[in-house]
Amino acid sequence: MGDKMKIFIDADGCPVIEDTISIAKQYNLEVIIVKNYAHHIENDYATIITVDISRDSADFYIVNHSQNEDIIVTQDYGLAAMGLAKNSNIITQNGLIITNENIDKLLNQRHLNQEMRRKHKIYTHIKKRKTSDTTTFKENIIQLIEQALAK
């Protein structure tokens, strides 16, 4: 691992920012929060990057600045795919670890959902966040950190 591992957070609408920072502090890891200017986030530990509000600004910032073995916290499967191409570790806010083995299925499901919305005006129901989602996230991001640090 070249430079020290960093954690990038795709922050717009991310409910695990504080949890991520708390865990990163335990491992003395740098955290970069990337948000658009419509969101207000303050934190003394993390570096906060504000990008313009255009659709993929945060994604492109993260992809252009992340490196091998960094961790990216995102719900965006497009960003996840780009991060995997750079050998980054990807985790969703619910703790799903996205890998080369499951990204195609996730992208395909996203495409099918977009088609259903566009063609048939059918909208998928977004499940309410549960406490167990945060627990799973914390367990899995610690696992990712420890695996990367062991390399």
What structural domains does the chain harbor? 6-99+130-150 (3.40.50)
**Sign of the four-CA dihedral 78, 79, 84, 90:** negative
User: What global pTM score does this model have?
Assistant: 0.84
Bridge partner list, 31: 7
pLDDT given at position 90: 94
Give the span between the Cα atoms of 143 and 97, in whole angstroms: 10
pLDDT tens-digit profile, the chain (151 residues): 346 899 999 997 799 999 999 999 999 999 999 998 888 899 999 999 999 988 789 999 999 999 999 999 998 888 999 999 999 999 999 999 999 888 878 766 765 666 666 676 665 656 677 888 899 999 999 999 999 888 8
Bridge partner list, 35: 50
Q: Give helix 103-120 / helix 77-85 axis angle, nearest 10°.
A: 150
